[in-house]
Structure 1
Amino acid sequence: MDTVQLALYGGLLAFAVAVVLGLAAGSPNLWLRIPARVIIEFFRGISLVVLLFLLLYVLPQIWMRNPDLPFEGLIRNTFLLGVLALGINYGAYGAEAVRASLTTVPKGQWEATTALSMSWSHKMRRIIFPQAWALMLPSLANLWIHLLKGSAIATSSPSSTISLPS
């Protein structure tokens, strides 16, 4: 049951990360596009096992050395860290699926939104994203299956915590 919970929560987080980063990576604004590309490439380049190791073993070391830092309870929750690792890692892969599907919307649709003087957010919400949604569904479904398989690596009890010495 833990694997299914990790997959569901991780999948929801991955979808949110994928949409936000995918839209930012496809944005004409350089201040959105460049940081999104850096984040996507970083988390696509790091293995899920390495990310889990960093979150579960390295991150608590920071709180052991600096006890005044906030969110110590969140750092101790291994289930939450597993969801975070799955969501960020697979969200970065999903962001590429979102960005790629946005680029496959026919050029005439983009030109029509420009001719109608639509703002970027309005054209995304009303015209482009609904068309891209049908194109990104197969890729996102495939990534969710990979996330389900990857959640077995991160399986832990929702109530398990890391004990930090005081």
Structure 2
Amino acid sequence: MLDSFWPLLKAGLVFTVPLTLITFVLGIALGFITALTRLYAPWPLVLIARFYVWLIRGTPLLVQLFLIFYGLPSAGITLDAFTAAVIGFTLNVGAYSSEIIRATLAAVPRGQWEAAYSIGMGWTQAMRRVVLPQAGRIAVPPLSNTFISLVKDTSLAAAVTVPELFQSAQRIAAATYEPLILYVEAALIYLLFSSVLSALQTRLEARLGSSSSTGERA
């Protein structure tokens, strides 16, 4: 376990962590656009956004990765493994996060919009200065859970040959014939990553709760 710990941890830091960060940022951006589309766009765009969310949420992530990496080459589109994984995870995170963001935006009382309009703000100013700060506090816990789940879901990238943490464990296990030890060690490293992120999430939620209470007293 000591000999394999550093190669597994290195694979996690070099591939798992960047894959998680890149796809989460891109996924949140896509989710935000999708949520705004579903709430405020003309109905043809709303239908497209709904279809996208329905399609992604209704199919397994592993199947989506296989379609992108193994299926698209038959249509003349060939992507390297990491790019295919980024696209697949981004589309998946975008669909799920769009529902979270849409719900949090809808949870902001209509009176907040009216108050912003009454002091001369336009739609963009009201969204940026009034609605988003309130919706952001509501969205932090579920989006944080999505991020932590994404760290574990990146293990599926091994199926499309991304040399991340889990695939590194598979390769070492194939060479050493010690699958139990290697997979337990990989699980412990995933647990370590998730525990650190959970602790950061708890601190962030406490800080937001404290600042919210301070603002209400003020």
TM-score range, shorter chain: 0.7 to 0.9
Unaligned runs of 5+ in 2: 1-11, 165-218
| Aligned partner letter, 1:154 | A
Unaligned runs of 5+ in 1: 64-71, 159-166
Structure 2 matches for 1:6-155, cutoff 5 A? 6-27=19-40, 29-63=42-76, 75-116=78-119, 118-155=121-158
Equivalents in 1 of 2:81, 2:67: separation in Å? 12
- How many residues matched? 148
Among all aligned residue pairs of Structure 1 and Structure 2, give the percentage whose two residues are the same amino acid: 35
Counterpart residue number, 2:163: 157
Offset from partner CA, 1:14-37 (integer Å, 9 cap, x none): 111111111212215324433222
1:17 is matched by which residue type in structure 2?
Answer: L
Distance 2:66 2:112 in 1: 44
Distance in 2 (alpha carbons) for counterparts of 1:124 and 1:134: 14
Q: Which amino acid aligns with 1:16?
A: A
How far apart, CA to CA, are the structure 1 residues paired with 2:64 and 2:89? 9
- For 1:48 and 1:128, the matched residues in 2 are separated by 32
Paired residue secondary structure (2:63): helix
Task: Supply the AA of the counterpart residue of 1:5.
Answer: P
Secondary structure of residue in 1 paired with 2:157: coil
Please tell me the root mean square deviation across aligned C-alpha atoms, in Å: 1.9
Q: What is the CA distance between 1:88 and its match in structure 2?
A: 0.6
Query: TM-score, normalised to structure 2's length?
Result: 0.62
Q: Which has the higher contact order (CA 8 A, sep 6+)?
A: 1
91-100 or 107-116, which moves further after superposition? 107-116
Cα separation, 1, equivalents of 2:79 and 2:45? 32
Task: Show CA shifts across 1:56-104 (max 9, x none).
Answer: 11101111xxxxxxxx5xx331101101101110111000000000011
Query: What SS does structure 1 have at the residue aligned with 2:155?
Result: coil
